[in-house]
Amino acid sequence: MSPDTAPRPRMTRQRREILDALDTRDFRSAQSWHERLRSDGSTVGLATVYRALQALVDSGDVDSVVSESGETLYRRCEAGEEHHHHLRCRVCGKAVEIDVPEFEEFARHIGDAHGYGDIRHTIELTGVCPECAAAGRG
Amino acid sequence: MSPDTAPRPRMTRQRREILDALDTRDFRSAQSWHERLRSDGSTVGLATVYRALQALVDSGDVDSVVSESGETLYRRCEAGEEHHHHLRCRVCGKAVEIDVPEFEEFARHIGDAHGYGDIRHTIELTGVCPECAAAGRG
DNA sequence: CCCACTATTGATAATGATTGTCGAAATCAG
DNA sequence: CTGATTTCGACAATCATTATCAATAGTGGG
Ligand SMILES: [Zn+2]
Ligand SMILES: [Zn+2]
Ligand SMILES: [Zn+2]
Ligand SMILES: [Zn+2]
């Protein structure tokens, strides 16, 4: 019942650094982003990176996918909040955004046909990017 | 250099029990299958359940998917080794097999267009099944 | 500019799923 | 039946992620 004043987030040095690091276009784990930040001179803590990434996912500024091994990978996307999917390199994480026009409607139909509600879908393509293939990392 | 004789797996009481338990049609975590086995009177160990499920996935007899939370879920499918996808209840795990006709070819095209090789794809639909919705578990 | 009030940080402990270890028990070919 | 090997299972170890909590640092007012 309390007015519940919106708690506006503070702009801290750590959050600036994390946003800056996310400037690239790869899917990486929280730990990987943390390593990169540290190697770039930041002293940000791991827990802070996890918290910031989670917040960014919630606000729609960052996309996350769960890898085959169960790790969560994060990436700042070009499409903003718009719904889209990815073709991601399994080796280096580099991703391009794709869309699957026919599928969005198809998913709803399938759900209806089986009486399932609140349908969500996951579509991810993975492969080995040209660079990784050339480097024999495939 | 050694002939490397194919080591055929032994049929143990535990493996029989696990295969029997998997007779149902839900996606469940290894821990969940283990609980069910124990509550049905089995004394099988958790590690054994993990090992058996992994082996069954490798042999193509069981499907696995990684849930949103990163848990791996297992299910014996009707389609055998054939490639297919699922519509799964996020609450109880019940799943139906679906196919996504045009997508298989589409995936390859997208991969080629971006120079990515060894393309794999994941398509999973999740929702709340009629039973779970009726029970207010949605 | 200084203070007080909190949100945030970060080192570390805790959690939870999964995998590794290793002596004991069980399978199965001979 | 018997011995060589596989498999079991209790438990420790690992790995990603989350919770703790005292210390630190934005922010808004004076
Ligand atoms: Zn790559
Ligand atoms: Zn979509
Ligand atoms: Zn259900
Ligand atoms: Zn497919």
pLDDT over 70 at A4, yes or no: no
Nearest nt by C1' to A43 Cα: C10
Nearest one of B78, B76, B68, B58 to B122, comparing CA atoms: B68
Domains, chain A, with CATH or none: 1-82 (1.10.10.10), 83-138 (3.30.1490.190)
- Averaged pLDDT, B97-110: 92
What is the Cα–Cα distance from B40 to B18, expressed in whole angstroms?
Answer: 11
Paired with B76 in beta bridges are none
What is the Cα–Cα distance from B62 to B15, expressed in whole angstroms?
Answer: 13
Mutual orientation of helices B46-58 and B13-21 as an angle, nearest 10°?
70
Please report which ligand is nearest the Cα atom of A124.
2
At residue A1, the pLDDT reads 42
**What would the pLDDT profile of A18-32 be if each residue is shown by its tens digit?**
999 998 889 999 999
- State the first-to-last Cα distance of chain A, in angstroms, to the nearest integer: 57
Nearest one of A68, A70, A58, A73 to A24, comparing CA atoms: A73
Q: Which of A17-26, B4-13, B33-42, B97-106 is predicted least confidently?
A: B4-13
pLDDT band at B3 (very low <50, low <70, confident <90, very high): very low
Distances in whole angstroms, Cα of residue A22 to Cα of each of A14, A16, A54, A78, B63: 12, 10, 13, 12, 35
CA of B103 to C1' of D3 (A): 55
**What would the pLDDT profile of B28-73 be if each residue is shown by its tens digit?**
999 999 999 999 999 999 999 999 999 999 988 899 999 999 999 9
At residue A2, the pLDDT reads 42
**What would the pLDDT profile of A60-108 be if each residue is shown by its tens digit?**
889 999 999 999 999 998 867 789 999 999 999 999 999 898 899 999 9
B 82-121: CB under 8 A from A? 87, 89-90, 96, 98, 100, 102-103, 106-107, 110-111, 114-121
What is the Cα–Cα distance from B99 to B104, expressed in whole angstroms?
Answer: 10
Q: Which of A2-16, A42-56, A117-131, B49-63 is predicted least confidently?
A: A2-16
CB atoms within 10 A of CB A132: 19
Mutual orientation of helices B30-39 and B13-21 as an angle, nearest 10°?
110
Find chain B residues with C-beta within 8 A of A123's C-beta: 121-123
pLDDT band at B24 (very low <50, low <70, confident <90, very high): confident
pLDDT over 90 at B125, yes or no: yes
State what percent of residues in chain B have pLDDT above 90. Answer: 79
Q: Which of A8-12, B5-9, B133-137 is predicted least confidently?
A: B5-9
| Higher per-residue confidence, A130 vs B81 | A130
Contact B87, B96 (CB under 8 A): yes
Contact B122, B88 (CB under 8 A): no
Distances in whole angstroms, Cα of residue A47 to Cα of each of A8, A43, B118: 20, 12, 35
Measured in angstroms, how far is the CA atom of residue B98 from the centroid of ligand 4? 10
**Which residues, in sequence order, are CB contacts of B135 under 8 Å at separation 6+?**
none
Q: Tell me the nearest-neighbour CA distance from A99 into chain B, angstroms.
A: 10
Helices (H) and strands (E) in chain B, counts: 5, 6
pLDDT over 90 at A9, yes or no: no
Contact A101, A85 (CB under 8 A): no
pLDDT band at B137 (very low <50, low <70, confident <90, very high): confident
Measured at the CA of B16, the angle between CA B10 and CA B20, to 5 degrees, comes to 150
State what percent of residues in chain B have pLDDT above 70. Answer: 95
pLDDT band at A6 (very low <50, low <70, confident <90, very high): low
At residue B5, the pLDDT reads 53
